[in-house]
Amino acid sequence: MTRLAYTALFFVNALLATAMRAFGDGWLKHLWSFDGCDTASDVHCVGNQAVYRASFAICCFFLLMVVLSALSERGHANCCCLWCFQLPAYVTLLVLSFFIPSAFFDGYAWLARVASVVFLVLQIIIIIDFMYNVRDYLLDRIEAAEADAETTASLLGSSTPANKSWVWKSVYLTIVLVCLGGAFTGIALLYKYYGGCSIGMAFTTTTLVTILIATGISITEWAGTGIMPPSIVAAYAVLLCYQALAANPDATCNPLLTYEAASHANTILSSLLGAATITWTSWSTSSSASSALQINRSTETEEKDGDKAAADTPSWQFHLIMVFGGLYMAMVLTQWGSLHGLADDVNMWVQIASQWIVLLLYVWTLVAPRVCTSRDFDV
């Protein structure tokens, strides 16, 4: 429940940042710390400065939690601490951040850019590792169910044992159908809404062709990976393609910009979706990274606490990844831009480059064990 509360706080912070960027220009520009903004030429200058301050506040908060969690064996698992100490600490950090001169956030913006690249690389590695873990888990469950059925049949002397492996096979097939169905449906929608421009057509076609190639390699006997990993990669690749095209600053190629500008209601809806997406990305990455970076307990502790202790992960790892999530939030909401809010296509190219890296790394996981036969790729 504690991590859920931290995630909720992160969501509120992201929502506040998007709201200030969308609607805060009118009153934030009067603060003395928001100097150097020419709102006539840079309409998002004040909003971007507000986003950096919200990002700075949440990052400082989670850095504080990293230190406290590392020093405390409990990891501050008591929910009372969130309301009695941690929440007031976050509010204080947020208020104080608005008294920091804007010159400070010039350097902070570069720190956020570098950290966000690290966060994206970590996210990509986790996605690829996650899909293989899901496949291996389901295959293990199928094999275990079939082995139990054979054991039961031999003990009872039944020629038709009750094989419950169909449950796990159904789960496997459902994931494949949902991911592939969602991927190809997304491809069709991308062609419909973004295919009118050459860049939209190029990104979508490249995504489709690469997905087909990766899937074709995966299902061959040579690779032997199966259909599940490429289906998950396909769904994620289409999502990244959409995020790239949705970040295109050219309104003639991005119908989403026209839709968002139609009314305040659309802006609010977009802010909610944006905050939810950033929060989910940060939470899923931090949770997966905590498991991947798990520090094993001593043998004595494992014997004492059993599997529960072995499965537990230090809270400071979760908080540390949330720090990177806060920095990444600043880049996403400001379009990887400067304090002055100049719109460019950096965010679009970051998203599509992330997709290309995901697809290349996945294909490499298929090819490397067969090409570099002298190396051991087992984890």
- How many whole angstroms separate alpha carbon 84 and alpha carbon 95? 18
Whole-number pLDDT of residue 139: 86
300 φ, ψ (degrees, to nearest 5): -65, -40
SS (H, E, C) 264-276: HHHHHHHHHHHHH
| Tens-place pLDDT, residues 227-258 | 888 999 999 899 889 888 887 878 788 887 66
DSSP 298: P
Do residues 128 and 362 lie in contact, with contact meaning Cβ atoms separated by under 8 Å?
yes
| Tens-place pLDDT, residues 289-305 | 555 544 343 334 444 44
Whole-number pLDDT of residue 178: 94
Residues constituting the chain: 379
Domain boundaries defined on the chain: 1-154+162-291+314-371
Q: How many CA atoms are closer than 13 Å to the CA of 219, on its beta-carbon side?
A: 10
DSSP 197: S
Do residues 358 and 240 lie in contact, with contact meaning Cβ atoms separated by under 8 Å?
yes
CA 40 to chain centre: 35
Residue 191 has pLDDT above 80, yes or no: yes
Nearest-10 crossing angle of helices 45-71, 2-23: 160
Among candidate residues 70, 24, 10, 40, the one with its CA nearest the CA of residue 276: 10
Beta-strand runs (E) in 176-245: none
Whole-number pLDDT of residue 273: 57
- Interval 353-361 mean pLDDT: 90
Residue 187's identity, in one-letter code, is: I
- How many whole angstroms separate alpha carbon 335 and alpha carbon 351? 11
- How many whole angstroms separate alpha carbon 98 and alpha carbon 105? 11
Instruction: Return the higher-pLDDT residue of 133 and 28.
Output: 133
Lowest mean pLDDT among 79-88, 196-205, 269-278, 343-352: 269-278
Among candidate residues 335, 345, 336, 325, the one with its CA nearest the CA of residue 115: 325
| Tens-place pLDDT, residues 112-162 | 888 888 888 887 887 788 788 888 888 888 888 777 766 766 666 655 555
pLDDT category, 263, cuts 50, 70, 90? very low
Q: Write the CB contacts of 196 (distance below 8 Å, at least 6 apart in sequence).
A: 253
* End-to-end Cα spacing for the chain: 31
Query: Could you give the residue ranges of the DSSP H alpha helices within the chain?
Result: 2-23, 25-28, 45-71, 79-81, 87-97, 104-156, 165-194, 198-218, 228-246, 255-260, 264-292, 299-305, 307-311, 315-333, 346-371
- How many whole angstroms separate alpha carbon 149 and alpha carbon 366? 33
Whole-number pLDDT of residue 210: 94
pLDDT category, 106, cuts 50, 70, 90? confident
Instruction: Return the higher-pLDDT residue of 269 and 66.
Output: 66
- How many whole angstroms separate alpha carbon 165 and alpha carbon 298? 36
DSSP 103: T
Interior/surface letters 80-96, b for 16+ CB within 10 angstroms, e for the rest: ebbeeebeeebeebbee
Whole-number pLDDT of residue 74: 55
DSSP 86: I
Sign, Cα dihedral of 38, 40, 46, 47: negative
Whole-number pLDDT of residue 318: 79
- Interval 249-272 mean pLDDT: 62
Lowest mean pLDDT among 8-17, 35-44, 293-302, 307-316: 293-302
